[in-house]
Structure 1
Amino acid sequence: MKKLLLHPVAFGFMFFGVVLTFVTTSVSVAAVDDSIVETEPEKGPNRGRLLKQDGFVIELSIFETGVPPEFRVWVTNQDKPVAPEAVSLTVKLTRLGGVVDTINFKPQSDFLRGDMEIYEPHSFAVTINANYQNKSYQWQYDNFEGRTNIEPKVAEAMNIQTEIAGEATLSETIEVFGRIVPAQDGQRHITARFDGQIKSMPVNLGQTVKSGDVLARIESNESLTSYAITSPSDGVISAKFANDGEQTDGRVLLSITNLQKLTAELAVFPTDRARVSLGAPATINVGEVKDSLISTVIFLDSQLQRNQSTIVRVAIDNASGLYIPGQYVTGEIEVDRYLVPLAVKRIGLQSFRDFTVVYAKVGEQYEVRMLELGRKAGEWIEVLGGLDVGSEYVTENSFIIKADIEKSGASHDH
């Protein structure tokens, strides 16, 4: 079974042809019935749509040269020009969702000029009422663009998801990179309390030790008695500088690193340095680890590196043991957070003509909303105009709506 949604042609520059709709729960789109062809409306000398009744003719055009789009109307009767002040005229535009724009007209030069901007999208049902010499005239037609119809079962099968547009908290971040190193308080360098000979050192490089484990036994040079050196903390033997039989000589014998407490050293460049603050939220990613690590900034270096970056340290809780010193990381640091009254998810954005749009959903119908955009942060983008708070709009798989509309091959004539 085929189902076609015909979008009659528009006046002026708003011709939009035939639009396809989905008709089954499969991922295919219904084919166009070539036997159904919409004829372009007859146009007048001002490139407007001609509407005729008993020899009374109005030419309705959208004019936008040097002004926001507005309606202008020229009138003839029995092929003779009619003075604009002799005609009473109103146009009603019924938009998707039942919003009605009522436009009144006043004479100007040789035409009637509408008193309202024709804002985007130029998609509506048009009703024209005119009165001339005590006789009334009325015309109605549909002028749809950027609109399509998708049945709920099809939308579900296509995984077309929507959300309600409203306020959102935008988190602005900067990208950073660096590597994992031991925490500054996570390393212990072990020395002998009294110099002497190392009688034994029962630990090896890379060995895991617990707090209190014996690391070495030393025979004091002065008392010739032996004493044990024990581990001050849990950790791993990360360096070993002495062996059995050697003299301690006041040197570091070995180092212990607590791998449960690590730090990500991240490079921040001067343009962003002033925006980073202690305690700022940070997200760390290691290529071979699936999940991101959420932490905070714990240190801001005051000196520049050779590449003119500044080192910022972020704490890493490594209780899981997934991270190892030396791993390279990427991440994001939050530098600002603010609440905006209206935002949409960036995943829902598409292009339509020269506009960035989302697709509003009303019932089973979807239609473009041309957006005026503001700040971008993370998954969100601020909306300054073109969409109302509380509007339902497409997020996931919005490209399906775009593809369906574009398959109509419709144009937007001027």
Structure 2
Amino acid sequence: MLRDDDFAIEVTVFEEGVPPEYRLYAYRDGQPVPPGQVQAAVTVRRLDGEVNRFAFRPEQDYLRGNATLVEPHSFDVEVVALEGGRRHVWRFPSYEGRTTIGAEAARAAGIRIERVGPGVIDETVEVVGRVELDPGATAEVGARFPGRVVAVAAHVGDRVRRGQLLARIESSESLQTYSVYAPMTGVVAERRTNVGDVTGSDPLFVLADPGRTMAVFPIFPRDMERIRPGQPVQLGGLEGNRAHASIIRDFRPEADAMTGATQARVPLPNPDGFWRAGMSVRGRVTIARRQVPLAVRTEALQQFRDFTVVFAQVGNTYEVRMLELGARTPEWTEVLGGIRPGQPYAAEGSYVIKADIERSGASHDH
């Protein structure tokens, strides 16, 4: 309610069943003034410098604004009214979803700024599978000639280098002793012999390179037409932040007789030996990719009232921008409207800004 001596203007924003619009009610000495006796204009100046001007026309018992009051409803307002030969002017701030955080405090809070711009939106399918050793990462080591095992130099779990001694065998034919060496660098996964055994055609040791692992995913019939060799895959654990980029290498030739699923094989980088055969692994397969004109980081999105928003940055001030959204991925979300191209926004740490706004109560009821 804006007052000037005996004259007053009630400024309201009406949005029941219509886009938000200004409606003004005039009073003199506390009594309603017919809207046809008043001329009014409202000017709002937004944080980013945009200026919106509204003219009004009489309707029923109020003056109705001639345009939609676009969100956010956060601006400096000027109201001018002419009635009975007198001119009334009011100026006041009307802010919501706005807060100021100094640059040093923003850095300390983990707020990182990016600009709204083009992005790549991936259509993905999530799959869950298990870690296996790469078939090419194992070797079965046998005796060259039948004979008696006279020495064993490696045990299960031992790390061995290529060319390292594994066992010594006394040949049954020549009675000469010969050595069995590791054909690859890796870990002794199985030891199937002991001193005194007589060798035959069965392997004595199985070696494995734990750094060469694969993620194997069951691909069910509903996804078979969409998932193909060569498609990118983001790999990670069921929990935690570990992530690896890879591609689908191939499919096993046979399908599961019960489920009809085929097995997609994906190389899984394992330089630190974290992944072990049998562990569960999650994959996100990119099946389509498209460029969009505007996108923001999905991490930046927050809920504000009934809207999904990001926080635009102007200097040290942050303010909500209500977004119209398209496709969403874990990394990027397509923006169809609500923010200008090139606008700086809080790509990381947006939850800090939201919490600061909620503490200050910088919102309004609708």
TM range (shorter): 0.7 to 0.9
1:316 match: 268
Q: How many angstroms does 1:393 deviate by?
A: 2.0
Tell me the residue number matched to 1:345: 297
Is the 1:278–1:298 contact (alpha carbons within 8 Å) kept by the matching residues of 2?
yes
Query: Is it true that 1:328 corresponds to 2:298 in the alignment?
Result: no
Structure 1 residue 389: Cα displacement: 1.9
State how 1:29-40 maps to structure 2 within 5 Å. none
- Any idea what the Cα deviations from partners look like across 1:380-400, whole Å, max 9, x if unmatched? 333322222222222444333
Calculate the TM-score normalised by the size of structure 2.
0.78
Q: How far apart, CA to CA, are the structure 2 residues paired with 1:334 and 1:358? A: 27
- Any residues of structure 2 matched to 1:218-367 within 5 Å, and which? 219=171, 232-241=183-192, 250-268=201-219, 271-285=222-236, 292-301=243-252, 302-304=254-256, 310-318=262-270, 320=271, 322-323=273-274, 325-336=276-287, 337-367=289-319
C-alpha RMSD over aligned residues: 3.9
Comparing 181-190 with 247-256, greater Cα deviation is found at: 247-256
Render the CA deviation track for 1:41-98: whole Å, top value 9, x for unaligned.
4xxxxxxxxx4446554443222222111122344567464353x5443211111121
Q: 1:200 to 1:265 in 2, by over 3 A?
A: farther
Shift of 1:147: 1.9
- Residue 231 (structure 1) shift: 5.4
Q: Percent identity?
A: 35
1:118 corresponds, among 60, 63, 69, to 69
Q: Which residue of 2 aligns with 1:9?
A: none
CA distance in 2: counterparts of 1:263 and 1:134, whole angstroms: 84
Bigger Cα displacement from structure 2, 226-235 vs 135-144: 226-235
Answer yes or no: is the 8 Å Cα contact 1:348–1:358 preserved in 2: yes
Tell me which residue corresponds to 1:139.
90
Deviation at 1:116, TM superposition (A): 1.0
Q: Given the two structures, how large is their TM-score scaled by the length of structure 1? A: 0.70
CA 1:339–1:217 in structure 2 vs 1: closer, same or farther (change >3 Å)? same
2:359 is matched with 407
Aligned twin of 2:55: 104
Q: CA deviation at 1:410?
A: 5.9
Q: Provide the rounded CA distance (Å) in 1 between the counterparts of 2:212 and 2:330.
A: 29
Say which of 131, 139, 152 aligns to 1:180. Answer: 131
In the alignment, the residues of structure 2 paired with residue 114 and residue 101 of structure 1 have an alpha-carbon distance, to the nearest angstrom, of 12
* Paired AA for residue 292 in structure 2: V
Taking the aligned partners of 2:272 and 2:102, their CA distance within structure 1 comes to 50
Residue equivalent to 2:101: 150
Deviation at 1:273, TM superposition (A): 4.8
Match of 2:330 in 1: 378
Query: Which segments of 5 or more consecutive residues in structure 2 lack a partner in the other structure?
Result: none
Q: State the 1:233 CA deviation.
A: 4.2
Structure 1 runs not aligned, ≥5 long: 1-40, 42-50
Q: Distance in 2 between matches of 1:306 and 1:232?
A: 39
- Please tell me the residue identity of whatever aligns with 1:385: G
- Distance change >3 Å, CA 412–CA 258, structure 1 → 2: closer
Contact 2:131/2:215, CA 8 A, preserved across alignment? yes
Q: Pick the structure with more strand per residue.
A: 2
Question: What is the CA-CA distance between 1:290 and the residue it aligns to?
Answer: 8.4
Deviation at 1:178, TM superposition (A): 3.7
Q: Kindly tell me: are residues 120 and 324 of structure 1, through their superposed partners in 2, closer, same or farther at Cα, counting changes over 3 Å?
A: closer
Distance 2:14 2:300 in 1: 31
Q: Is the 8 A contact 2:131 2:213 kept in 1?
A: yes
Bigger shift: residues 99-108 or 238-247: 238-247
TM-aligned CA distance change 1:56 to 1:312, over 3 Å = same
Report the CA distance between 1:334 and its aligned residue.
2.9
Q: Distance in 1 between matches of 2:101 and 2:304?
A: 19
Distance 1:160 1:325 in 2: 37
Quote the Cα distance in structure 1 between the aligned partners of 2:241 and 2:53. 56
Q: Structure 1 CA distance, aligned partners of 2:272 and 2:32?
A: 89
Q: Does 1:393 align with 2:331?
A: no
Deviations 1:319-350 (A, max 9, x none): x4625653514233332433333232333333
Q: How many residues align?
A: 361
Provide, for residues 303-324 of structure 1, a one-character-per-residue CA deviation record: whole Å limited to 9, x for no partner: 1376775432222355x46256
In 2, Cα distance between equivalents of 1:142 and 1:108: 27
Aligned partners of 2:117 and 2:293 also within 8 Å:
yes
Which shifted more, 113-122 or 154-163?
154-163
